Amino acid sequence: MQRRSFVFAGLGLPTLAFAHHGWSSFDQERPIWLEGRVTRVRWQNPHAELELEPPRDLRVPPDLPTRSLPSQSAPVDGKSLLARATVPTRSRPRWTVELAPLTRMRAWNVKEIQVGDTIGVLGFTFKQEQGDPLLRAEYLFVDGRAYGLRSSPA
């Protein structure tokens, strides 16, 4: 009986591994800025995810390079990322945004984001376009606060 349980549990692993995207799949040389209204939220593991509807005239906020960023345990040059941020070249009405695992979201004390909230995100797209537009969040901006999502708070 234990052998069958192990075999069935193992069959699900490829699906989970395929659904999770490592940082190496993303173009970390090109930080992308998105902001807008949240239209869908999936607040569960392996990571929180949401759908964001940016405005048609999306622009990088002029104050973005000077925004204060929190320290996190991973070495991330956040100020450089903010200074190099651009808006997406692909014009899409909605973007999927991959946030951090829920344990990390709790460590940062991020409140659960709701449909209708307005947020900002700095992150990365895939190195090569792969279907629906996906942004992996490096920094999340909610209600005037910034959260580093690559690692836990320092």
Alpha helices in 20-154 (DSSP H): 78-84, 102-107
Q: Are 143 and 120 in contact (CB under 8 A)?
A: no
Q: Give the pLDDT means over successive 10-residue stretches in the chain (154 positions).
A: 41 38 66 97 94 95 97 93 92 91 96 97 77 85 96 92
* Confidence at residue 3, expressed as pLDDT on a 0 to 100 scale: 44
Closest CA relative to residue 56, chosen from 85, 36, 41, 84: 36
0.95 exceeded by pTM: no
Domain residue ranges in the chain: 22-148
* Confidence at residue 89, expressed as pLDDT on a 0 to 100 scale: 84
* Confidence at residue 97, expressed as pLDDT on a 0 to 100 scale: 96
* Confidence at residue 132, expressed as pLDDT on a 0 to 100 scale: 67
* Confidence at residue 105, expressed as pLDDT on a 0 to 100 scale: 96
Tell which CATH classification among 2.40.50.140, 3.40.50.10860, 3.40.50.720, 1.10.260.40 matches the domain 22-148: 2.40.50.140
* Confidence at residue 24, expressed as pLDDT on a 0 to 100 scale: 56
* Confidence at residue 48, expressed as pLDDT on a 0 to 100 scale: 96
* Confidence at residue 91, expressed as pLDDT on a 0 to 100 scale: 76
